């Protein structure tokens, strides 16, 4: 197959994918989105004869538009722009999970400091304020007191980009010092790990320790449902345990978000799963599905 790789920086993750694709004799067309002119009427030459495009853009804005163009050029793309749109925005993400009946932390959104303050007081302390767009735990605030809330809201309202004027307030989940990241292809878990830290933010990018994690049936079901809620694809599903029994086993989960351009280097290191190989297996199946649809159409 001929795989188009949309990217703007080749990270370790993309290196792993590229070498797996090439080892299997697939053709890869690397498309650095920074060099492209995306015409609204005609596909650039680099898009000719692609069986499937894999979006690995780091910047959300690029990812959202570049995948839209793939769709306009009739080139199958994973993840779909509709999925990217939901995952790139925490409000849309939370709404999709709630609508699908997937347990997700209680959240309120408001547009003024005063309204946000009401949500904060309602949730009580601590609670969490998150930017609606962003990753790696950046600009997330655990609000411990009314005076802290006032300060953060004031900073966001005065100094923030317009996206920071949407206040996303969430209940604080008393997780056991870790969260769970699952990489899934169309809802099927590929690999899972826990990210543990003394800090309330347990992102790998914030220095959390990672370790392989075995999913139980409930977690598997939630991964499948959360993936479907955003339109499926190659996704990172983030869960938190909401309680543990005496043996330390989780008694329930909440899904706080689904990510669309998921980094998997930490997962590959923490588990003995050959993540790149699994992703390429899935891509091959996708490309085959697409060519079958084309033949029958």
Ligand X SMILES: Nc1ncnc2c1ncn2[C@@H]1O[C@H](COP(=O)(O)OP(=O)(O)OP(=O)(O)O)[C@@H](O)[C@H]1O
**Position 238 contacts ligand X (CB under 6 A):** yes
Give residues 259-288 in contact with ligand X (rule: CB under 6 A).
259
Please count the helices (runs of H) and the strands (runs of E) in the chain: 9, 13
Number of residues engaging ligand X in binding (CB under 6 A): 22
CB of 25 to ligand X, least distance (A): 34
Cis peptide before 126 (omega within 30 of 0): yes
**Position 31 contacts ligand X (CB under 6 A):** no
Single residue of 55, 179, 232, 241 touching ligand X by CB under 6 A: 179
The piece of 8-16, 38-46, 161-169, 253-261 that touches ligand X (CB under 6 A) is 253-261
Q: Between 21 and 149, whose beta carbon lies closer to ligand X?
A: 149
**Position 200 contacts ligand X (CB under 6 A):** yes
Single residue of 52, 128, 273, 279 touching ligand X by CB under 6 A: 128
The b/e string for 160-194 (b: 16+ C-beta within 10 A; e otherwise) is eeeebebbbbbbbbebeebbbbbbbbbbebbbbbb
Q: Write down how long the chain is.
A: 297
**Position 20 contacts ligand X (CB under 6 A):** no
Q: Between 203 and 271, whose beta carbon lies closer to ligand X?
A: 203
CB of 135 to ligand X, least distance (A): 3
Single residue of 56, 156, 256, 286 touching ligand X by CB under 6 A: 256
Burial of 195 (0-12, 13-18, 19+ CB in 10 A): buried
Q: What is the Cα 11 distance to its own chain's centre?
A: 17
**Position 111 contacts ligand X (CB under 6 A):** no
H helices of the chain, in order, are 12-23, 60-72, 81-87, 90-99, 113-123, 146-159, 217-229, 265-270, 275-296
**Position 191 contacts ligand X (CB under 6 A):** no
Burial of 260 (0-12, 13-18, 19+ CB in 10 A): buried
Q: Which residues bind ligand X (CB under 6 A)?
A: 105, 128, 130, 134-138, 140, 170, 172-173, 175, 179, 200-203, 238, 256-257, 259
């Amino acid at each position: 197959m001929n795989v188009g790789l949309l990217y703007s920086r080749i990270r370790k993750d993309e290196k792993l994918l590229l070498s797996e694709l090439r080892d299997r004799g697939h053709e890869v067309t690397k498309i650095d989105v920074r060099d492209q002119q995306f015409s609204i009427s005609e596909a650039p030459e680099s898009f000719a004869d692609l069986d499937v495009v894999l979006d690995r853009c780091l910047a959300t804005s690029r990812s959202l538009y570049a995948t839209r163009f793939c769709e306009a050029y009739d080139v199958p793309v994973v993840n779909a722009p509709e999925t990217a749109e939901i995952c790139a925005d925490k409000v849309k993400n939370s709404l999709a999970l709630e609508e699908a009946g997937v347990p997700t932390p209680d959240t309120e959104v408001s547009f003024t400091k005063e309204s946000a303050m009401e949500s904060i007081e309602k949730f009580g302390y601590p609670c969490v304020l998150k930017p609606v767009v962003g990753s790696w735990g950046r600009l997330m605030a655990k609000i411990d007191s009314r005076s802290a809330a006032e300060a953060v809201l004031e900073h966001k309202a005065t100094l923030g980009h317009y996206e920071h004027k949407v206040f996303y307030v969430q209940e604080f989940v008393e997780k056991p010092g870790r969260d769970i990241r699952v990489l899934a292809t169309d809802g099927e878990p590929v690999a899972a790990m826990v990210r543990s830290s003394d800090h309330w933010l347990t992102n790998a990018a914030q220095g959390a320790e990672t370790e392989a994690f075995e999913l139980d049936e409930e977690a598997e079901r939630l991964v499948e449902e959360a993936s479907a809620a955003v339109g499926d694809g190659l996704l990172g599903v983030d869960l938190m345990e909401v309680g543990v029994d005496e043996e330390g086993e989780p008694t329930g989960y909440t899904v706080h978000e689904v990510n669309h351009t998921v980094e998997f280097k930490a997962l590959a290191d923490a588990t003995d799963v050959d993540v790149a190989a699994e992703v390429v297996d899935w891509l091959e199946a996708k490309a085959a599905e697409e060519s079958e649809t084309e033949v029958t159409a």
